[in-house]
Structures are given as structure tokens and as C-alpha cells.
Copies of this chain bind each other. A is one copy, B any other.
């Protein structure tokens, strides 16, 4: 096919622009779960806001998580010279899991300190993050291992496998978090929050 233009070879520019748009909207919709207590209720505003604390905590954790997946997605797309239809589909699958996060976040925040449903809600939340990580692993596998000819070509096979291994290892904490959900919703959420902190911190040091 040489270097001739090919409508199926997709520039990564618009893949980035669409993905950035979707992630930007998804991360911003998290604010819709921060609700204003109805004025005129019997409780004071302070207690009304106070009882909403799981929503604030969930906002921070999910915002950081989507932000970090955006940074990682950004790095993954930078490695690509061009995309093809399978990559577009793997990307769509990843976006489908990211867009569902505001729902999973709201579900978890609404139930975590209830006496009923808190384990299921925490499990759905950790499961959603696990799905998102799995979709990102598929994206990395499709690009790094299955389509090395679409990469910018500066990556050795060893380096490519190392990046994939790192994506796979990202599945572990979310699997553990989901497995712990029937025991303790707080343990589940603590792990999800710790993952966000863990990925944020090393990122601040040059590799």
C-alpha cells in the first residue's frame, strides 16, 4: 500500500480530538452528582452538605481516575503513527467504559454509607474501573502487540511488552477491590482511591 493515502488509515489527530472531547465531557459530568440541598428543609445547610460527603470524596477519586486514564491514553496515542478501524473500535470500547463512570460514581456515593446496597454499589464501582482498565489493556494490546507497524517505530519489542505488562498490572488492584466489595464497601473504595494516588504520584517524577 506504500505511502499512498488510504481512507482506512486514520490519522490519530481526530481520534485524539474525539477521545479528548468524550473524556472532557465525562469528567465534567461528575459535577452533576454534587447536589445542592433543598432550601427550606428542616436541617441546616451545614448538616445537609455534611451528609453529602461521599459525593465529594467520590468526585475527587473519579475525577483523578479519569484524569489519569486521559494522561495514559494520551501517551498511548502518541506512540501511534496512525490508526485503523480495529483501533477505533478498541478506543470506542474504552470510551464506553469511561462514560459510564459518572453513573457508577453516583451509585457508589449514594449507597456507601447506607445499611442496604452498599456492597453491591461498591462492587459495581470497582467493577466499572476494572472494565475500564481491561478496555485500556485491550487498546494497548491491539496497538503494541498486534499492530507494531502502526507505531512510530522507536519502541523495541521489550519496551512494548513492558508497557503492556504495566497496563495488565493495573487490573490487579481493581480486581482486588471488586473482590472485597462483599466484605467492606469502605475497603473497596479505599483501594480505588489509593490507586488514583499511586498513579498520580510516580507520574510527577521523570521516568
Contacts and interface: CB of A to CB of B under 8 A. Distances in A.
Interface of A: 5, 7-8, 10-11, 14, 16-18, 20-32, 34-36, 39-40, 44-46, 48-49, 59-60, 63-64, 67, 70-71, 74-75, 78-79, 84-86, 88-89, 92, 95-96, 99-100, 102-103, 106-107, 110-111, 114, 116-117, 120-121, 124, 152, 154, 200, 203-207
10 contacts: A14-B74, A31-B100, A31-B102, A34-B100, A34-B103, A39-B110, A39-B111, A44-B116, A67-B95, A85-B205
B67 A92 contact: yes
5 nearest A-B residue pairs (beta carbon) = A21-B24, A45-B117, A25-B28, A34-B103, A85-B203
B39 A117 contact: yes
A120 B45 contact: yes
A74 B83 CA distance: 12
B24 A18 contact: yes
A24 B27 contact: no
A102 B114 CA distance: 27
Nearest to A30: B99
A59 B49 CA distance: 22
B16 A22 contact: no
Nearest to A118: B45
A154 B103 CA distance: 45
Given A10-B74, A10-B75, A39-B117, 6 more contacts: A22-B24, A24-B25, A25-B25, A36-B103, A59-B100, A67-B92
A106 to B, nearest CB: 5
Contact of A26 (B23, B28, B71): B28
A118 to B, nearest CB: 8
